[in-house]
Structure 1
């Protein structure tokens, strides 16, 4: 990946990030199947601050590098070249998405209390949306956690599951259904809840195949959880709207980080294919291997282009960017999996062993087709938007012919 198309300061940050990941972070990677420990995380984050690569997405006033969203991708891809790179740079999910949303909609007091320590890496966070069936999952409208107004705050009751990052987190952003109160609409509201709140307890762990997200994906029990009015994030009743503010960029940054890991997988495969001989020559001289390699290069480059387009849209037209992020999420999650899978195939038996990290990479990227909404749900939404666009064209006096929309007078 080259950086010549970027502004000089961003290109320089990309180069520093590349060196930091390769020279500092990779040597600290845990063994396959193990998680990054807190002592190593703290050490790496301190080193990242010293190297000037810490929190690239965070505004400078909160200790970050202040990079605008349209230039996040090459930096986060470099961070994602190591599974623990995003944690070292403090741009890992769910913290990165929570920082972005807090910066946009939190009050100054909330930013001081939650964003400042989160951006500094002093605490971690989680986001409480997903619930046990029949609660919110692929369909956020099924939200069952409720918050009831009291004279001086809110009482929240519910049950969350798959709350990524909850173990060891400092606070949770809890989504709860709220009634219409004081002129605010009925709907969902986001609440900032300290993990020390006696009404919020981390429950049963959910053991998953991925290991990179700090804090796992446990259940959360929320019972008679009182929070003051100051805990409301944004406005009452607008939680679903704020969720889109968060989820559009968060889907895309997942694409960025895991595309970096796909580049690492391809590099491992290329190294093996160039050094190992088979049937009288190196593997990369064989047509079948060349086909696997070329398909992976195509998957990486098309993903990179789609991410760049979506990031630009999120900057210039957030609504269109959020819609495009569904397309990017589906394409990248499937493309990244294919790249890692092909790398394993090229490396043969070593690819599925602990001798190489590729098998664990496959475990890391496979859940992406489920996380941030299953691909099937995104495809449903993509198709609905396409059909709605076609209907709008018809209402505007155009007629639809195959793949082309033409005017009343016909013609191509």
Structure 2
């Protein structure tokens, strides 16, 4: 059992870290580079994306023939963690959600024609994308079998009517993957479709205000009132929508974990530097036992989160679905990110609560981690089912 990265992957990790330090963190530090939604503005983002491409750090997750760098999941775990030491990091490398998961799905299951039309522009950075699945009550959320958006066959085309919400990135997306019901079959009743922003028959009802900060394009509510989609833009086959969702969401959940460990480490990085220089009662805060307990406990939880994430990444690289491993990582990392942000703010005092650091940004962002891509309680249900099925084998080494 070897916990050392192969030299090639370690080299990528180091290069990503150096790029974040030299190029992204200085941009993050200047609030003039932020947009009105507390993310990086388009102009500095375009500059950083150009530099990331020139550095050979663009789209690490896709095979080289698809325009990426061909890194395995264990390499992505190490590199995504480094990217998200900056709150603006992943999008600069074309590694942010939802594009990350959408590119992976399109590359894995799309036809060659679909890849040219829908995938290549995302890979090149010309457009962004969104994945339209979640619906308001009584529609589908964590349980996609409840989906109510319907696609009906009319005159040789699919006509969509329905309602989606909290669709990440929809405000700026050009390419969309849409899940809709095509029959009432419990396993084969959903189908995945591809459509373009400029097609008629749908609209963005609103950009939903959130606790924030927001990803690019926000989290939007969509209304479909007659969107027409041709057969050539059905992803996989009719009835394969649930399968497409499963293919996409497992790795996507884990890439969230990879990025969030980087944010958790950034919290401790800021707090650690502060407690070493800030003095109280005649000594640095770092010398107080209570402060040491807080730092040590959080550092340990981050390491547990990293190890669970890497274990799941290794299982994916072996060709397994890794549902149990991904769920464990998702719960642990989400909890750890919130704990790290809260601990760092507590240690930095009023400075941490202010906007003199990015800690308050991370604190607000972290709360969503226990909700997106399956609430923590849903993942615990997955783990319970696994344990009841496997018994003592739940803790096997292979």
TM-score range, shorter chain: over 0.9
Give a deviation string over 1:22-41, Cα, whole Å, max 9, x none. 11111222638622222222
Shift, 1:51, TM fit: 1.4
CA distance in 1: counterparts of 2:212 and 2:383, whole angstroms: 27
1:379 shift after superposition: 1.2
Unaligned 5+ residue runs, structure 1? 394-402, 406-412
Q: How far did 1:236 drift?
A: 1.2
Maintained 8 Å contact 1:36/1:212? no
Q: Which runs of 4+ in 1 moved over 3 A?
A: 30-33
- Corresponding residue number in structure 2 for 1:378: 379
Name 1:12's counterpart in structure 2: 11
Match of 1:25 in 2: 24
Q: 5 Å matches for 1:275-314?
A: 275-314=277-316
Q: Tell me how far apart the structure 2 counterparts of residues 263 and 197 of structure 1 sit (CA, whole Å).
A: 42
Given the alignment, which residue of 247, 250, 268 partners 1:248? 250
- Unaligned 5+ segments in structure 2 are none
C-alpha deviation, 1:239, in angstroms: 1.0
Q: Which moved more, 1:124-133 or 1:38-47?
A: 38-47
**What root-mean-square deviation, in Å, do the aligned CA atoms of Structure 1 and Structure 2 show?**
2.2
Q: What is the aligned residue count?
A: 390
Query: Normalising by the residue count of structure 2, what TM-score does the alignment of the two structures yield?
Result: 0.93
- Partner in structure 2 of residue 43 of structure 1: 47
Q: Distance in 1 between matches of 2:184 and 2:331?
A: 35
Instruction: Give the whole-Å Cα distance in 1 for the aligned partners of 2:313 and 2:42.
Output: 32
Question: Which of 246, 252, 259 is 1:257 aligned to?
Answer: 259
In the alignment, is residue 61 of structure 1 matched against residue 62 of structure 2? no
Q: 2:150 aligns with which of 133, 146, 151?
A: 146
Query: Alpha-carbon deviation of 1:185?
Result: 7.1
Report the Cα distance in structure 2 between the residues aligned to 1:134 and 1:180, rounded to whole angstroms: 16
Do the aligned residues in 2 keep the contact of 1:249 with 1:322 (CA within 8 Å)? no
Q: For residues 53 and 356 of structure 2, what CA distance do their matches in structure 1 show?
A: 32
**Structure 1's 180 and 228: CA in aligned 2 closer, same or farther, altered over 3 A?**
farther
Q: Does 1:100 align with 2:104?
A: yes
Q: Which has more radius of gyration? A: 1
**CA shift at 1:302, angstroms?**
0.5
> 1:13: Cα distance to partner?
1.2
CA positional deviation for 1:322: 2.5
Name the TM-score, length of structure 1 as normaliser.
0.90
Matched, 1:118 2:125: no
* Offset from partner CA, 1:183-235 (integer Å, 9 cap, x none): x9741110001111101211211111233521100101111111000111111
1:130-279 superposed matches below 5 A = 130-179=134-183, 186-279=188-281
